[in-house]
C-alpha cells in the first residue's frame, strides 16, 4: 500500500485493505452457545403483493415487472437470544430460517470482536484515505459485519422461493444456495440498497430454476431485470456516492474481489451456512398465538381510492391484516396483532393527515 495516493477511488486497493484486516481465518472462533428457545409471533399473509409493495415496485424498482416479485408467506417478530427485537418475513420453510439466520449472524459478529483490538492502529494513513474515498462504510470491520448481515438477508429472502427448489429442509436449502453460487450472484448483480429495501418489505424480485445436477440458478428474466436495475441505480448515483467512479466501471463487492488469488466471500458464506446448519440443532422454535380478531374504526376524511390505498399501505407495513375499507361508511375493518401495534397504526394514519375515530 505504500505510495498509494490518498483520497483516490480504488476498489482493488480497498479490497486489499479489507483482506489484510480480516486475515486468513477471521471466523475460526465461532461459538455456537447453548441450546435456546425462541418464541416468534407469526402473522400469515396471503402471498400476494400488498398495495404498499406494489406501489414500491412500480415507483422505485423500474423496470422490474410486478409479476417477477414474490411476496413472503408470513411476517415474523421475535426477540433473539440477545434480547433484541427483530422483524422479518418467511416463506414455505417457516420462521426457522429468519430466526436461526439471526443467531448465526450474532455468532459470527462475536467471532469478529477479536479483530477490533488494535484495528485503528493497524491501518496506515494511505489505507484510511483509500477506504474513505472508495466505500460508504469506511471501517473494514463494519464492512465485514454488514457482509455477514447481507449474507443472512440473502438466505432469508431466497427462502421465500423454497418451493421453486428441490430443497425441503432449512439445512438443505442453505447448503443448496451455497453450492449453487447464489450468494456470489447476489454480491455481483444486486445493486446496493435493493436487498435491504426489498427485505424490509418482505419481497424478492427473483425466480429460481432447478438444474439437473441438484443446484439452482436465477431465471433468465431475473438476471436481465437485476442488471437493468443496477445500471439505472449506478447511473443515478454517479453524481453522489460514485462521483469518483471512472466511466464504464462498476462498483464491485470488495469481499468478492480477488486479492492475490483469494476472495473473502466464499469463506464468509461457507462459515455462515455451516454455522446456520449447526444452530438448527440448538434452536427450538415455539410460535406464540396472536389475537387477530377484526376490529372496526372510522376515518371521516377518507374520500377516494388514494386515501384507501394510503391507509391500507400504512396498516400492512405494520403487520396489520386489512379485512375491508368502505368509503361510504368511512369504516376500516382490520386485525391488529397487539395493542401496541394498534396505537402505532393510528399514529401512523394521523401522521398522513387523516382523522382516526376508534369504536
Residue-wise DSSP of 54-85: HHHHHHHSTT--GGG-EE-SEEEEEE-TTS-E
- Output the CA–CA distances (angstroms, integers) from residue 52 to 55, 131, 145, 155, 357, in the order listed: 5, 37, 30, 23, 23
- Helix or strand run (H / E) with residue 333: strand 331-335
Could you say which residues of the chain have pLDDT below 70?
1-7, 24-26, 114-121, 237-251, 289-292
- Helix or strand run (H / E) with residue 147: helix 140-158
Contacts of 213 (CB under 8 A, 6+ apart): none
Q: Indicate the pTM of the whole model.
A: 0.78
d(CA 153, CA 358): 37
32-46 residue pLDDT tens: 999 999 999 898 888
| Residue-level pLDDT at 9 | 79
Helix (H, G, I), strand (E, B) or coil at 90: strand
| Residue-level pLDDT at 4 | 39
Helix (H, G, I), strand (E, B) or coil at 357: strand
| Residue-level pLDDT at 277 | 98
Helix, strand, coil percentages (3-state) for the chain, rounded to 5, are 50, 15, 35
The owner of cell 448483480 is 189
Compute φ and ψ for 277, nearest 5 degrees: -65, -40
| Residue-level pLDDT at 246 | 63
Amino acid at each position: 500500500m505504500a505510495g498509494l495516493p490518498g483520497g483516490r477511488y480504488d476498489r482493488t486497493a480497498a479490497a486489499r485493505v479489507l483482506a489484510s484486516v480480516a486475515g486468513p481465518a477471521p471466523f475460526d472462533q465461532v461459538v455456537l452457545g447453548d441450546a435456546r428457545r425462541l418464541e416468534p409471533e407469526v402473522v400469515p399473509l396471503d402471498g400476494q403483493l400488498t398495495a404498499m409493495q406494489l406501489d414500491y415496485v412500480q415507483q422505485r424498482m423500474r423496470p422490474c415487472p410486478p409479476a417477477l416479485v414474490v411476496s413472503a408467506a408470513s411476517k415474523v417478530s421475535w426477540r433473539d437470544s440477545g434480547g433484541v427485537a427483530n422483524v422479518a418475513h418467511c416463506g414455505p420453510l417457516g420462521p426457522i430460517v429468519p430466526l436461526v439466520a439471526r443467531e448465526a449472524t450474532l455468532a459470527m459478529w462475536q467471532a469478529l470482536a477479536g479483530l477490533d483490538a488494535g484495528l485503528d492502529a493497524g491501518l496506515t494513513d494511505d489505507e484510511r484515505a483509500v477506504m474513505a474515498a472508495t466505500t460508504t462504510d469506511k471501517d473494514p470491520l463494519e464492512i465485514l459485519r454488514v457482509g455477514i448481515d447481507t449474507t443472512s438477508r440473502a438466505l432469508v429472502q431466497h427462502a421465500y422461493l423454497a418451493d421453486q427448489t428441490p430443497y425441503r429442509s432449512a439445512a438443505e436449502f442453505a447448503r443448496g444456495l451455497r453450492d449453487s453460487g447464489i450468494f456470489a450472484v447476489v454480491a455481483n448483480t444486486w445493486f446496493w440498497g435493493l436487498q435491504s429495501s426489498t427485505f424490509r418489505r418482505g419481497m424478492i424480485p427473483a425466480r429460481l430454476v432447478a438444474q439437473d445436477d441438484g443446484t439452482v440458478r436465477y431465471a433468465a428474466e431475473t438476471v436481465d431485470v437485476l442488471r437493468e436495475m443496477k445500471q439505472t441505480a449506478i447511473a443515478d448515483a454517479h453524481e453522489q456516492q460514485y462521483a469518483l467512479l471512472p466511466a464504464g466501471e462498476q462498483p464491485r463487492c470488495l469481499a468478492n474481489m480477488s486479492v492475490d488469488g483469494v476472495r473473502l466471500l466464499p469463506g464468509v458464506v461457507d462459515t455462515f451456512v455451516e454455522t446456520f446448519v449447526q444452530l438448527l440443532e440448538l434452536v427450538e422454535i415455539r410460535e406464540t398465538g396472536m389475537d387477530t380478531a377484526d376490529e372496526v374504526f372510522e376515518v371521516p376524511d377518507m374520500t377516494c381510492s388514494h386515501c384507501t390505498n394510503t391507509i391500507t399501505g400504512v396498516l400492512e407495513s405494520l403487520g396489520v391484516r386489512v379485512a375491508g375499507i368502505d368509503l361510504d361508511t368511512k369504516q376500516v375493518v382490520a386485525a391488529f396483532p397487539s395493542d401496541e401495534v394498534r396505537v402505532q397504526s393510528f399514529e401512523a394514519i394521523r401522521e398522513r393527515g387523516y382523522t382516526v375515530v376508534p369504536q
